[in-house]
Amino acid sequence: MKSAKGLYQFFKGKYPLERKFYDLIPPLLEKKYLKTIYNCHLCAGTLDGVDIDGDVELTVLDIDHIIA
């Protein structure tokens, strides 16, 4: 999966009608992604950020915003 989107944005686009699209992500893939993205947020100083993507709602998509 090579893309300019984050993992959660990718799966939301792949399954647009699925409300809980994040449940369709393979667990091992999600674990590795979260470990990597944690380090990105740590370096950027955004771990304590609230609603990073600015959509007025805190969701898993905020995790992806650091790489978007």
Q: What is the pLDDT of residues 42-64, one digit of tens each?
A: 888 877 767 766 777 777 777 77
DSSP 47: T
Residue 56 lies in a domain: yes
Count H helices, E strands: the chain? 3, 0
The boundaries of the domain holding residue 52 are 7-67
> CA angle at residue 56 from 61 to 4, to 5 degrees?
30
| pTM value surpassing 0.75 | no
Residue 42: strand, helix, or coil = helix
* H/E segment holding residue 61: helix 61-64
**Is residue 2 domain-resident?**
no
Confidence check: pLDDT of 13 > 70: yes
pLDDT at 15 over 90: yes
Split into its structural domains, the chain has a count of 1
In this prediction, residue 57 carries a pLDDT of 74
